[in-house]
């Protein structure tokens, strides 16, 4: 029976945890840490009311900072691609994106 060739591993080697591994297919371009928290605070301060509800004439507090074009579909993490939404509007938008699937099509 064929066997795989032996793999050299230095002493003390251990497999990396999922969060330590490098993303290979779709690199995550999301801002992390304080930079992400700062950007989120800016969006919440600039848009205290849900953008979708305002279009309908309702004043509902913003709960979630949402990417207009998702990062997985090639959207950027810049301020121009972010909007403030309430939880129900964000859930509805996310469901539409999942059912549409793919990269925006």
**Distances in Å between the alpha carbon of 78 and those of 30, 35, 47, 92?**
10, 11, 15, 23
Q: What pLDDT score was predicted for residue 94? A: 93
- Per the structure, how many domains does the chain have? 1
- pLDDT (tens digit, 9 = 90+) per residue, 65-102? 999 999 888 888 899 999 999 999 999 999 999 988 76
Tell whether 24 is covered by a domain: no
70 in a structural domain: yes
Residue 44 lies in a domain: yes
- pLDDT attached to residue 36: 87
pLDDT digits (tens, 9 = 90+) for 26-45: 566 677 788 889 999 999 99
The pTM of this model reads: 0.68
Domain of residue 91: give its range. Answer: 30-100
Q: Does a structural domain hold residue 14? A: no
Q: Is residue 82 in some structural domain?
A: yes
Average pLDDT over residues 9-21: 80
Residue 12 banded pLDDT, cuts 50, 70, 90: confident
Within a domain: residue 6?
no
């Amino acid at each position: 029976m064929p066997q795989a060739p032996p793999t050299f591993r230095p002493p003390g080697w251990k497999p990396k945890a999922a969060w330590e591994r490098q993303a290979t297919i779709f690199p995550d371009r999301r801002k992390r840490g304080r930079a992400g928290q700062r950007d989120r605070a800016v969006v919440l301060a600039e848009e205290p009311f849900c953008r979708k509800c305002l279009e309908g004439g309702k004043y509902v507090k913003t709960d979630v900072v949402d990417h207009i074009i998702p990062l997985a579909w090639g959207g950027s993490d810049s301020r121009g691609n972010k909007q403030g939404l309430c939880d129900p509007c964000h859930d509805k938008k996310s469901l539409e994106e999942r059912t549409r699937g793919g990269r925006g099509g």
